[in-house]
Structure 1
Amino acid sequence: MRSRHLSRVIAASPAVVHAVASDPDRLAEWAAGLATADVTRDGDDLLVDSPMGRVRVRFVPRNDLGVIDHDVVLPSGETVTNPVRVLAHPDGAEIVFTVRQLDLTDEEFERDCAAVEADLERLAGLVEGR
């Protein structure tokens, strides 16, 4: 299994980037690889219409450490854990998303990585006001 760490520097404080990226109500604004519409809450879980179908998302509890890890329960029942960190950077903040290949083909893995990179670019545009 391969992992790839994808990152994007964002010209904003880590606290601002973390606040936007971890807000379930803002997922559809930037995370097209996960949310194609507004989320529905089911207790601490989120129900999300995604490109993969209806999925259940569980974020780690809110924290001041910049951690936005989340599990995505796919329609098949498989759970995918997505490590995400917001780090301080000399130019503001850097968000780092780890993509794991798991059972994906090389082509599917590359497609997932491209989707995450596009999501991080949309997040940067949203936070930076572009």
Structure 2
Amino acid sequence: MYNFAADPDNLPKWAEGLAKADVRRVADTLVVDSPMGEVTVSFVSRNGFGVLDHDVTLPSGTTINNPLRVIAHPDGAEVIFSVRQIGMTDEEFDRDCRMVADDLAKLKRILES
């Protein structure tokens, strides 16, 4: 699961809340068309701990840190994404939570098929 989720080329397949189209690479930066507009994404380096933390820089220039973990489990893996309400209304936060839940459900369906 980690290898699939860590591959930026797979983002449009499961993370529509972040990437609606193919990921473009500009030097070491990932550029994606997202529901928020064009954003840049920077993931931590691949690692053996299942950490997929990433920063998303919004069109406004604001950078949001997104903690994401893939944790081994006897029946496969668990994916934990921390959604934080920073500078969002309650309605925006609820929408963001729904988008993350949808993305994680899609990731699960892909990997279980």
Does the TM-score normalized on the shorter chain lie above 0.5? yes
Residue matched to 1:14? none
Give SS of 2:31's match: strand
1:57 correspondence with 2:41: yes
Q: 1:33 aligns with which of 12, 17, 20?
A: 17
Q: Give percent identity, aligned residues only.
A: 59
Distance 1:44 1:125 in 2: 30
Unaligned runs of 5+ in 2: none
Distance 1:122 1:100 in 2: 21
Residue matched to 1:69? 53
Amino acid at match of 1:113: C
1:58 Cα deviation (Å)? Answer: 0.2
Q: 2:65 aligns with which of 81, 84, 87?
A: 81
The normalised TM-score by structure 2 is 0.98
1:126 correspondence with 2:110: yes
The normalised TM-score by structure 1 is 0.85
1:88 Cα deviation (Å)? Answer: 1.4
Which one scores higher on RCO, CA 8 angstroms, separation ≥ 6? Answer: 1
Query: What's the Cα RMSD here?
Result: 0.6
Runs of 4+ aligned residues of structure 1 deviating over 2 Å after TM superposition are: none
1:97 correspondence with 2:108: no
Structure 1 or 2: more strand by fraction: 1
1:111 Cα deviation (Å)? Answer: 0.6
